[in-house]
Amino acid sequence: MICMEMAEFDFGKIAGRYDLCNHLFSFGMDRLWRRAAVRLLDLRADERALDLCCGTGEVVFALARYSAAGEITGLDVSEAMIRRAQGKQPSGGGGRIRWIAGDAVRTGLGDQSFDAITCAFGLRNIPDRLAALREMSRLLRPGGRAAIMEFSLPSNRVLRGLYWLYLRFVMPAAGALLFGSRNPLIYLAESVRAWNDEFDFPKVCEQAGLSYARGYPLTCGIVRIHLLKHKPMDKEHKIMME
């Protein structure tokens, strides 16, 4: 959930404190957000799920706990995060789970390999978001769906103002104590603002071959789950993807 600019911050450096920071900064609500995203997908036992930008595996474990998915894959660019996730995996309960270190834009996984894809607080930090969404479209089977969870800014002006103060000033101050730098959390605040005010998510989804089905606001609108659905590509769209 803590979102760093990959060019400036090494996720591996905070792998050991990653979960603690997420729980503290969200006041424990992050667990409820993940569970809501998993249940929204309503996976069956014959379906396969992929969690992109999986970090230390919290969404993967939520998929294993709250869904019937027969196979669950967690993928992250940071090998340190993958190792941390593997270390957290309960003994005897890992038959459904596999881990891959890889790029969310170029996963190397087969076409139409998954029925559902999740990505929690990661898409916003990928420089080429269109390429990442096109990769999701390629990986999804016909009729597949994706749940993208991202921070948002509340529509209520008072709540929006209070939340912005928390993002812009309180969290960076805490980041200085936890990481020795305010910059990662300042980046988080600015990326949330840009995501909400400058990025036309439904339009980019359409360009990638995904239909934007609906947005589900959580916790007064500070988080939103974006439900996407795979749609067949026409000939012209296929040529653009090549």
In this prediction, residue 5 carries a pLDDT of 37
In this prediction, residue 149 carries a pLDDT of 97
In this prediction, residue 19 carries a pLDDT of 59
Average pLDDT of the residues in 38-56? 96
- For residue 45, pLDDT over 80 is answered with yes
- Choose the most confident range, by mean pLDDT, from 103-112, 172-181, 229-238: 103-112
| Predicted confidence band of residue 1 (pLDDT cuts 50, 70, 90) | very low
Alpha-carbon dihedral sign for residues 214, 219, 220, 223:
negative
In 10 A of CB 70, how many CB atoms? 15
- For residue 236, pLDDT over 60 is answered with no
Cβ-defined contacts of 88-95 (< 8 Å, 24+): 88/56, 88/57, 88/61, 89/57, 89/61, 93/64
In this prediction, residue 240 carries a pLDDT of 45
Residue 114 vs residue 240, higher pLDDT: 114
- For residue 202, pLDDT over 80 is answered with yes
Indicate the range of 3-7, 64-68, 117-121, 210-214 predicted with least confidence.
3-7
Average pLDDT of the residues in 94-104? 92
DSSP string, the chain: -----TTT--GGGGTTTHHHHHHHHTTTTHHHHHHHHHHHH---TT-EEEEES-TTSHHHHHHHHH---SEEEEEES-HHHHHHHHHHSPTT--TTEEEEE--SSS--PPTT-EEEEEEES-GGG-S-HHHHHHHHHHHEEEEEEEEEEEE---SSHHHHHHHHHIIIIIHHHHHHHHHS-SHHHHHHHHHHHHHHHH--HHHHHHHHTEEEEEEEEEGGGTEEEEEEEE----HHHHHHH-
In this prediction, residue 152 carries a pLDDT of 93
| Predicted confidence band of residue 205 (pLDDT cuts 50, 70, 90) | very high
Superfamily grouping for domain 11-154+200-241: Vaccinia Virus protein VP39 (3.40.50.150)
What tens digit of pLDDT does each residue of 75-90 get?
Answer: 999 998 999 999 988 7
- For residue 207, pLDDT over 80 is answered with yes
In this prediction, residue 23 carries a pLDDT of 61
Average pLDDT of the residues in 31-53? 97
